Amino acid sequence: MALTFDPFSQLDRFAASVLDSGRAPRLMPVDLYRDGDRYVLHADLPGADPGSIDVDLDGGQLTIRAQRTADTRDGARWLARERGAGSFLRQFTLGDGVDLDGISAAYESGVLSVIIPVSERAKPRKITVESAEQPQAIDA
Domain boundaries, the chain: 26-69+85-139
Sign of CA dihedral 59, 60, 61, 66: positive
Quick check: helix, strand or coil at residue 122? helix
How far is 63 from 90, CA to CA, in rounded Å?
A: 6
pTM here? 0.68
- Give the amino acid at 119: S
Averaged pLDDT score across all residues of the chain: 81
What is the per-residue pLDDT across 10-52, written as a single tens digit (0 to 9) for each?
565 556 555 555 555 667 899 999 999 999 999 999 889 899 9
63 — pLDDT class (breaks 50, 70, 90): very high
1 — pLDDT class (breaks 50, 70, 90): very low
Q: What is the pLDDT of residue 116?
A: 95
6-15, 55-64, 105-114, 123-132: least confident range? 6-15
Residue 112 pLDDT more than 70?
Answer: yes
Nearest one of 140, 56, 39, 41 to 98, comparing CA atoms = 39
Percent with pLDDT over 70 in the chain: 75
**Architecture per CATH, 26-69+85-139:** Sandwich (2.60)
18-32, 58-72, 79-93: least confident range? 18-32
Average pLDDT over residues 112-130: 84
